[in-house]
């Protein structure tokens, strides 16, 4: 939908259940039926919609995605890679996060990782320091700040989704604070006191490790991170990992099903 557009949504029982309008880049919903329209679980007669909102009406669930003009431009050079709906949906979910978005990507996974970083428009920096920053540059993890409008996110998702290139995350702290936080986890010590690199940013590691942590360990590992967003072993599923009083909460977001039946399930 573009500015000034209007769309009506209904079901077989109620042809016109609610209407969605876009004006001056503001998206609003208005109920047209006696049955309530639920937005994020709250009965709504009318109100503003934000990206990521869930609308339930007429036994159907709709998810809201607000695509800004810069997002369309970011896609133009990547459309060939987005033939899989899962990649396009994952990109849309991440690009519309309200909190600052970052990524930790692993240059050891593919030569293209560093190529995309060097040719992109986002700030990035190795998590290694000292001599390792240079000697291990081709296999290092890199922290990336994916500001709104950055085209790099489209490239990372289009080429790396499903290939364990790294993790995405939201956080409100500075780039420097995040880098300091993540550097704490680069090395771990075994029982025989050997030091090993801990690839915590690998989605295969995160999705198996975090659910086993105690609440205290979860709080320590998350620190300033609000949520981690990673691919599941089935890349048609996006996982959101977030801290919870009982440990780590894991929500599944299917990426390749119709919007009217999509929703979140717990891992």
The tens digit of pLDDT for each residue in 235-249 reads: 889 999 999 988 999
Residue that is written with structure tokens 């050079």 in the block: 77
Domain boundary among 63, 78, 99: 63
The structure tokens 């209904």 sit at: 10
CB contact at 8 A, 229 and 249: no
- Same domain for 226 and 107, yes or no, is yes
The answer on 76 and 21 residing in a single domain is: no
Q: Does residue 76 share a domain with residue 15?
A: no
More confident: 55 or 113: 113
Please tell me whether residues 23 and 108 are part of one structural domain.
no
211 domain-assigned = yes
Res 256: pLDDT:
66
More confident residue, 195 or 198: 198
The average pLDDT across 127-153 equals: 92
In a domain, 139, yes or no: yes
Looking at every residue in the chain, the average pLDDT score rounds to 83
Count of domains observed in the chain: 2
- Evaluate if residue 130 carries a pLDDT over 80: yes
Same domain flag for 96 and 177: yes
Name the domain boundary from 63, 82, 101: 63
pLDDT given at position 157: 92
Least confident of 81-85, 195-199, 234-238: 81-85
Identify the residue with better confidence: 267 or 142.
142
Q: Is residue 180 part of a domain?
A: yes
Q: Name the residue with tokens 């939908």.
A: 1
Residue 14 is assigned to a structural domain of this protein: yes
**195 pLDDT tier (thresholds 50, 70, 90):** confident
The number of beta carbons lying within 10 Å of the beta carbon of residue 185 is 16
Residues 98 and 169 in one domain: yes
Contact of 141 with 102, CB cutoff 8 Å: no
Average pLDDT value for residue range 21-27:
79
> What are the structure tokens assigned to 202, written together?
């690998």
The answer as to whether 122 is a domain residue is yes
* Cα(240)–Cα(227) distance, integer angstroms: 6
Q: How confident is the model at residue 84 (pLDDT cuts 50, 70, 90)?
A: low
Q: What DSSP state is assigned to residue 205?
A: H
**Domain enclosing residue 179, as ranges:** 69-266
* Calpha distance 208→191 (Å, rounded): 21
- What is the rounded distance in angstroms from the CA atom of residue 233 to the CA atom of residue 8? 37
The CATH number linked to 55 is 2.60.200.20
Written as six digits, the tokens of 8 are 């009506």
Q: Residue 79 pLDDT > 70, yes or no?
A: no
Q: Do 30 and 111 lie in a common domain?
A: no
- Same structural domain, 59 and 74: no
Around Cβ 16, how many Cβ atoms within 10 Å? Answer: 11
Is pLDDT at 70 greater than 60 in this prediction? no
Residue 49 is assigned to a structural domain of this protein: yes
The four Cα atoms 253, 255, 260, 264 give a dihedral, to 10 degrees, of: 0
pLDDT for residue 156: 93
**Residue 51: is its pLDDT beyond 90?**
no
Task: Note whether 100 and 26 are same-domain residues.
Answer: no
> ∠ at Cα 38 (16, 25), nearest 5°?
75
Residues 40 and 20 in one domain: yes
Q: Among 20, 47, 63, where does a domain finish? A: 63
Pair 82, 198 in one domain:
yes
Give, as one character, the DSSP assignment of residue 122: S
Whether 78 shows a pLDDT value over 80: the answer reads: no
Tokens describing residue 180? 């300091």
Same-domain status, 127 and 205:
yes
Give tens-digit pLDDT for 221-238. 999 999 999 999 998 899
| 1 in a structural domain | no
* pLDDT confidence tier of residue 4, bands split at 50, 70 and 90: very low
pTM: 0.69
d(CA 111, CA 139): 9
Residue 46 near residue 29, CB atoms below 8 Å: yes
Residue 8 has a pLDDT of 47
DSSP state of 108: G
Residues 6 or more apart in contact with residue 77 via CB below 8 angstroms? 151, 154
Torsion-angle region of 129 (φ positive above 0: left; ψ -120 to 50: alpha; else: beta) = beta
Predicted local distance difference test score (pLDDT) of residue 1: 46
Residue 91, in any domain of the structure: yes
Q: What would the pLDDT profile of 149-176 be if each residue is shown by its tens digit?
A: 788 998 999 889 999 999 999 999 999 9
Q: What is the DSSP letter of 77?
A: T
């Amino acid at each position: 939908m573009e500015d000034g557009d209007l769309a009506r949504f209904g079901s077989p029982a109620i042809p016109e259940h609610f209407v969605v309008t876009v004006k001056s880049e503001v998206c609003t919903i208005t109920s047209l039926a006696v049955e309530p329209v639920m937005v994020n679980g709250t009965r709504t007669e009318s109100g503003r919609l934000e990206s990521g909102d869930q609308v339930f009406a007429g036994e159907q669930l709709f998810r809201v995605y607000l695509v800004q003009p810069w997002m369309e431009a970011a896609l133009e050079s990547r459309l060939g890679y987005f033939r899989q709906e899962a990649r396009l949906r994952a990109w849309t979910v991440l690009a519309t996060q309200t909190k600052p978005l970052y990524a930790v990507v692993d240059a050891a996974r593919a030569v293209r990782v560093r190529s995309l970083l060097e040719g992109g428009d986002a700030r990035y920096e190795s998590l290694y320091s000292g001599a390792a920053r240079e000697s291990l540059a081709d296999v290092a993890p890199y922290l990336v700040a994916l500001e709104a409008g950055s085209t790099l996110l489209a490239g990372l998702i289009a080429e790396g989704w499903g290939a364990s290139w790294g993790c995405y995350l939201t956080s409100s702290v500075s780039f420097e604070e995040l880098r300091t936080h993540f550097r704490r986890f680069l090395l771990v010590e075994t029982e025989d006191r050997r030091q090993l690199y801990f690839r915590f940013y690998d989605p295969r590691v995160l999705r198996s490790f975090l659910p086993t942590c105690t609440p205290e360990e979860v709080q320590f590992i998350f620190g300033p991170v609000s949520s981690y967003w990673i691919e599941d072993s089935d890349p048609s599923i996006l996982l959101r990992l977030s801290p919870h009083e009982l440990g780590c909460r894991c929500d599944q977001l299917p990426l390749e099903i119709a919007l009217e039946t999509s929703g979140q399930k717990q891992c």
